[in-house]
Amino acid sequence: MIRINNISFSYQEFDMDNELNPGDRELVSVAREAVLHAYAPYSKFRVGAAIRLESGTIVRGTNVENAASPSGICAERNALSNAISNHSNDKPVAIAIAAMAEEELTDNPIPPCGNCRQVIAEEESRTGNHIRIILSGKKKTFVIESISGLLPLQFNLNNFKTNLP
């Protein structure tokens, strides 16, 4: 038997920053501030991420590029590494992401790359918490309640093990 399955997800779209709830708005402002600390001399595409932990603590990350390009890292994974390294028992509950090209914040939200989606997915799996994803642009902001919307059928060794006969 062949089944055709369909996967869809919902997300919120905001036209104005002041429509965001106060917590999300604060996180976006920290991500935008983090952008200014990015090291992106090659792409000139600067990205900032801010993660809110369950305690309310906010940690940030930026992209850090390198002349040997695979050695660079994205802002999202940098922020998450910072959170896990310094606050391992304080679970991430939200991440805001902002980006700047040619010295201007981007008009549209910039979604995380595939590598970062996988890493965020594993953090959700590790902590058992959904991580709210806030993608901010100057003209619109998307809010997604969990990485599963951006990464369906995700690779997860626990799923694999439990699916074994």
> Where do contacts with Zn ion occur on this chain (CB under 5 A)?
74, 113, 116
Q: Choosing from 65, 76, 123, 124, which is the catalytic residue? A: 76
User: In the complex, what is the shortest distance from the CB of residue 130 to Zn ion, in angstroms, rounded to a whole number?
Assistant: 19
Tokens of 82: 């910072």
13 included as an active-site residue: no
User: In the complex, what is the shortest distance from the CB of residue 34 to Zn ion, in angstroms, rounded to a whole number?
Assistant: 14
Q: At what angle do helices 114-127 and 75-86 cross, to 10 degrees?
A: 30
Considering the complex, state which of residue 5 and residue 108 has its C-beta at the smaller distance from Zn ion. Answer: 108
DSSP β-bridge partners for residue 141: 14, 136
Transcribe 75-131 into DSSP letters: HHHHHHHHHHHH-TTS-EEEEEEEEEETTEE-SS--PPPHHHHHHHHHHHHHH----
Phi, psi of 85 (to 5 degrees): -65, -40
User: In the complex, what is the shortest distance from the CB of residue 110 to Zn ion, in angstroms, rounded to a whole number?
Assistant: 10
User: In the complex, what is the shortest distance from the CB of residue 116 to Zn ion, in angstroms, rounded to a whole number?
Assistant: 3
Considering the complex, state which of residue 59 and residue 116 has its C-beta at the smaller distance from Zn ion. Answer: 116
34 Cβ partners below 8 Å, 6+ apart? 48, 49, 50, 60, 61, 62, 75, 79, 98
Supply the residues annotated as catalytic.
76
